[in-house]
Structure 1
Amino acid sequence: MDSSADLLRIEDLGISFAIVGGPIHAVKRANLRVLPGKVTALVGESGSGKSVISQAVMGILPKTANVRGRILFSDPETPGKTADILEMPRDGQEIRSLRGRRIGKIFQEPMTSLSPLHTIGNQISEVLLIHTDMSATERRERTEEMLGLVGFPNPRQAYDKYSFELSGGLRQRAMIAMALICRPALLIADEPTTALDVTIQAQILQLLRDLQTKLNMAMLLITHDLGVVANVADEVVVIYHGEIMEAGPVEAIFRKPSHPYLKGLMAAVPHFDMKPGERLKALREVPVNVENLLDTRRAPQAGRTDVLLSVKDLTKTFTTRSSSWFGGQKHQVRAVDGVSFDIKRGECLGLVGESGCGKTTVSKILMRALTPEAGSVIYNGADGPMDVLAAEGSELRALRTKIQMVFQDPVSSLSPRMTIQNILSEPLEIHDRGDATYRLEKVKSLMQAIGLDKRYLNRYPHSFSGGQRQRIGIARALALGPDLIICDEPVSALDVSVQAQILNLLKDLQKKLGLTYLFISHNLAVVDYMADRIAVMCGGRIVELAPREILLRKPVHPYTRSLLAAVPFPDLDRPLDFKTLQASGASDTRAWGPQFRDDGVENAMEPADLGGGHFVLARRTADARELRS
């Protein structure tokens, strides 16, 4: 193979870190290449060495790293000359002139990667200040031009905004603008869409493809999402525990995967073509043993379809100030606007929508963390109906045991100062369940139920992986034997293989313990796998609600259709149709038909019954046949 044709070539790269007890070998004899103007995807689980390789290319590895091998970069600006990045002095002029100017990088988390103390324009133009001789006026012009190029609706206004004033999608666009401001030859994108909604992700992928073509730029895309890889990559490199398992053109990798690890990754991805009852094939299954937990639960009764939780006309408004910190104008934002749904006993209701649509606000109201202005929440427990919003004292205390929550971030939701035993026994202590011996036995039973060894009880959360921490979060939610568990994006921060573990675990627990779930997510394929019925939320309102098989096969509302169109499939024969994706986002009501738009006039919106439990938010005069067409 002709190495001179490669823009970036990594040969026999080995990276290890010296720690007490012996070195950790993060990367072992890795070989890969990035061709000019092409996209190479580096695919693998967390901890496989992907980000460490990208840090080596950028020359930003910590001093404790021991590196061997070669990283050859052939800059098109200097034809015929190939430089070894590893031989460059650590903070020398040579590596600094490459970093940011000829090799750009988009980091995974835009909120922590952007300074909250400097404006977006200030941070982006700083790259030009370091690498060019432009005047302040020229830097501002170039920055505003780049902000427009990456899709900011008003670049001049965006220049003076702070990162916390932007949505997640716009923050990621700002990161892209910063990485591309000097027109680099190589862009390293480290999980650029992991934390984004499916519609924003599709916009960012389209943006990266367009800019790559326009700037004739190569890209090293680091991801664990095979759907993203299938839609963007030219070549694929699969890495596991620091070793390259398989590499080749995207066609060969997807149509004829040969390595068992790659086949396992593909089988772990939830997709819309799964048969009823089909199970995700996790790379490492979690054994579930709930025999000792059954004492806290009633056995599920066959044929019971009564409503466990009834939510009617919830409304919640927040007051925000304009950009002036003191004395700015107040604005009312209706986060939840007349939301109604029922959760039947023993079912899983999926709640989907983009960030900011009000999903988490609804969950906080159900958990009594927020108080709505209007609406009712009735819980139908064994002791009869209970008004969730009016419960106080002992009634509220009893209610807390019946409704529990699994949080989105497995890291921040567990106290770093408490052992696993303390974390799992805390709910039992708060609600005076048994003595110390009973609690210890209960905690051991919970560990058994989530497939973790009880020897780990005295460990702290930092010694567990993300998937193990999420399993501990699930065990904590199960401790009091609840009827309803609210799962708020429980797998969005996890790798696809670990995600399959957690989803299978939740399904097994639901079946064996007769649990009821409200499953909140923006990943439609995950909701398709978990839910019996799905409610789609947009702008604080539920715009469509239907059984899973109806909603995903025959969606009626334009917003639901846009969400489904933006899901990237790990299938080369089903590419994303970037032309039909709305540049303004799925929630832009201007692209909806007149029967779905709320014009605020006498023709108000209400749920139209299309039959079979299928409801869609439409104008009162809309005909059911017209809606279906």
Structure 2
Amino acid sequence: MNAAAKSSSGDLLRIENLGISFAIVGGPVHAVRNASFRVLPGKVTALVGESGSGKSVISQAVMGILPNTARVRGSILFDDPLTGKSTDILQLPRDGEDIRALRGSRIGKIFQEPMTSLSPLHTIGNQIDEALKIHSDLDAAEVKARTLEMLGLVGFPNPARAYGMYSFELSGGLRQRAMIAMALLCRPALLIADEPTTALDVTIQAQILHLLRDLQSRLNMAMLLITHDLGVVANVADEVVVIYHGEIMEAGTVEDIFRRPQHPYLKGLMAAVPHFDMKPGERLKALRDVPVKVGTLLDSPKAKATAAVAQPRSDVLLSARDLVKSYTTRGSGWFGKGRDRPVKAVDDVGFDIRRGECLGLVGESGCGKTTISKILMRAVRPDSGSVVFNGADGPIDLLAAEGEALRAVRTKIQMVFQDPVSSLSPRMTVQNIISEPLEIHDRGDAQSRLQKVTALLKAIGLDERALNRYPHSFSGGQRQRIGIARALALGPELLICDEPVSALDVSVQAQILNLLKDLQSELGLTYLFISHNLAVVDYMADRIAVMCAGRIVELAPCETLMERPVHPYTRSLLAAVPFPDLDRPLDFDTLHAAGASDQNAWAPQFRNDGDGDALTPTDLGGGHLVLARRSVDKRELV
């Protein structure tokens, strides 16, 4: 570590003995402690650690955008190859000309969340070319030409059209490309990428990583990549710096870090990442395990099932058939008066969820996964189709249920949401949040509800001291556990988990996944687990349904799908998952530029060409179904 941090004339950026603290009531918070590392010209240095470890604070110090409450010591030396001048960024006036000349021009930054980083009131072109207007003397025509050139360079299919669009009109991947174009427009010597792919699908993530690596090489630019994803690090980085609670734990080349890890924290991070080589029954090794204590919980599905064992019942808990849901998009004419266009979010979808299993539902954003979850929760009505729920009290037509029947079925199906921040009310204590379902459904009195809430907290690994605290005082993983406790309050039989770990660090992700597995085993729960990460679903699920453009294109037992995927879309999803393994790099050449869902890249037997030969589920045996042309012999697919 010390060798990597030593001052050298060959370093583009040298951070030496950096300390950052924030003054708050009760004493200062030390966010960064004596951190030292380097970034070499034309190389990628990855800064790796959990949320709260100080990664983003360091990037803010480099950009000179720390808040006024920050107290900083040490030095950040930037050797600009354009001028040959070495500058200590910490010695520059906070908002003086010198720091503004560096920021955006010689040092660019890509922020984590492109939707909140882009203005909804200005076009993409206006926002991107602003940097060039500030840092150059080019006229308006030259600025626009350079902006269009950069939009093409980062992969916009139609730069001229994108120039006049607004951020909310773009997909997540295109918004991130716009952020990259904005950061690179002035050809900086250093690019800081702060979690640039965290919110993206694995296929879009792979495209963005390929783009960043390609541009970094083409422009001979250095990059400080901030991430918690070791798979991303293994595929992009040249050097790696591991940080924990503001202190550098380990630093070195990517070869040293992955092949010869030394620090226990780094080894723990690596063991917490789900991967396709895990053996059946093998558990993720979370850095901090969550004890599961479900002995005090009542009304569990397992208890209900034991009580109802004498009743003959189906092995299928929920059966969905022929589900269709369309939305109408407003026309593009003046004031939206163009022709309205229906878009099928869910198109003829059918599946079964067996009692006690975890069915994984995977696909890219916009494929219809969440719409299906909303249909099952009765938050959205489908245009057509049927859903039958075979609960402990007998079969229920889920879509026809009204009044008391609907109220009763809502207790049997509960949901764990994607974002643990926005799904919990900031104005309610933990006790109020978890007891709210019990109050709505008139379960017990105040005393029994308190006992139930306390038991639920113990079950998810929190103690009674959390009862009167508010969500903002908990970490992301703890908030998600509170969301799980709320979902379990009514003793549901089916739990729908909609991307429950996509917003979490790998170490916290391992905690939540292990907790969900333990709860399933102890309580006899059935899961519909929705995700875009096949490695996570592989760890959780018994069977996996792969969804693309509103249809299930492949459905198979977990082992079958991982070892013998048939549909090209499934293969693309698998190929796009980055491994934390130097011997298994992403094959960027095989990743299609237009995305995994581009049917033009698929074999003819999987394409819907509108010639009357419909796509139908073809049974390949052993519960393996794939969507293919009706006329295709299944032996051609195996």
Q: Same fold (TM over 0.5)?
A: yes
Identity of aligned residues (%): 80
3-state DSSP of counterpart to 2:581: coil
Equivalent in the alignment of 2:482: 472
Report 1:328-367 matches (<5 A). 328-367=338-377
1:172 to 2:207 alignment: no
Alignment TM-score, normalising by the size of structure 2: 0.97
Mapped to 2, the partners of 1:507 and 1:550 lie a distance apart of: 21
CA distance, structure 1, for counterparts of residue 613 and residue 436 of structure 2: 52
2:590 pairs with 1:580:
yes
SS of alignment partner, residue 575 of structure 1 = coil
Three-state SS of the structure 2 residue aligned to 1:569 is: coil
SS of 1:9's equivalent in the other structure is strand
User: Can you give the 5+ residue segments of structure 2 that lack an aligned partner in the other structure?
Assistant: 1-5
Question: Is this contact kept in 1: 2:302–2:525, CA < 8 A?
Answer: no
Residue aligning to 1:412 = 422
Equivalent residues of 2:7, 2:14 under 8 A apart = no
2: CA distance between counterparts of 1:494 and 1:123? 30
Q: CA deviation at 1:602?
A: 1.8
Residue 552 of structure 2 aligns to a residue in which SS? strand
Change (3 A) 1:304 1:185: farther
Q: Is the 1:609–1:624 Cα contact (8 Å) retained in structure 2?
A: yes
Question: 1:39 maps to which residue?
Answer: 44
Deviation, 1:295, is 4.0
Spell out the pairing of 1:455-466 with structure 2 (5 A cutoff): 455-466=465-476
Whether 1:403 aligns to 2:407 is no
Q: How does 1:77-88 map to 2 (within 5 A)?
A: 77-79=82-84, 81-88=85-92
2:519 corresponding residue in structure 1: 509
Contact residue 301 and residue 525 of structure 2 kept, 8 A: no
**Structure 1 match to 2:60:** 55
Tell me the CA shift for residue 475 of structure 1: 0.2
Question: How far apart, in 2, do the equivalents of 1:425 and 1:384 lie?
Answer: 27
Find out whether 1:494 has 2:491 as its counterpart: no
2:439 matches 1:437: no
Query: Which is worse superposed, 132-141 or 115-124?
Result: 132-141
The question of 1:314 aligning with 2:319 is answered: no
**Aligned-partner residue type, residue 608 of structure 1:** T
Aligned mate of 2:20, from 15, 21, 27? 15
- Shift, 1:625, TM fit: 1.3
Q: Is the 8 A contact 2:21 2:29 kept in 1?
A: yes
Residue identity in the other structure for 1:35: L
Corresponding residue for residue 73 of structure 1? 78
**Mapped partners of 2:143, 2:466: distance in 1:** 55
| 1:133 paired to 2:151 | no
Instruction: State the distance in 2 between where 1:12 and 1:382 align.
Output: 62
Is contact 1:471-1:502 (8 Å) kept?
A: yes
1:385 deviates by: 1.0
Contact 1:304/1:345 (<8 A) preserved: no
Q: Could you tell me how far apart the structure 1 residues matched to 2:599 and 2:130 are?
A: 37
Give the letter aligned to residue 90 of structure 1. R
- Deviation (angstroms), 1:326: 3.5
Conservation of the 8 A alpha-carbon contact between 1:16 and 1:65? yes
- Written as runs of structure 1 = structure 2, the 5 A alignment for 1:121-270 is 121-270=125-274
Task: State how far apart, in whole Å, the 1-side matches of 2:623 and 2:415 are.
Answer: 27
- Report the aligned-residue RMSD: 1.1
* 1:294 CA drift (Å): 3.6
Q: In the alignment, does 2:578 pair up with 1:568? A: yes
SS in 2 for 1:252: helix
AA partner of residue 52 (structure 2): G
* 1:75 partner letter: D
Aligned to 1:278: 282
Q: Which amino acid aligns with 2:188?
A: P
Question: Are the aligned partners of 1:128 and 1:181 in contact in 2 as well (CA < 8 Å)?
Answer: yes
Deviation per CA, 1:430-474: give whole Å up to 9, x if none. 000000000000000000000001111000000000000000000
Deviation at 1:600, TM superposition (A): 1.9
Conserved? CA contact 2:616–2:627, under 8 Å: yes
Partner Cα separation in structure 2 for residue 256 and residue 459 of structure 1: 42
How far did residue 599 of structure 1 move?
Answer: 1.3
Cα offset, 1:308, TM superposition: 0.2
1:369 is paired with a residue of what secondary structure? coil
Bigger mean CA deviation after superposition, 276-285 or 598-607: 598-607
Amino acid at match of 2:608: D
Where in structure 1 do 4 or more consecutive aligned residues deviate above 4 Å? 300-305
Amino acid at match of 2:24: I
1:35 positional shift = 0.1
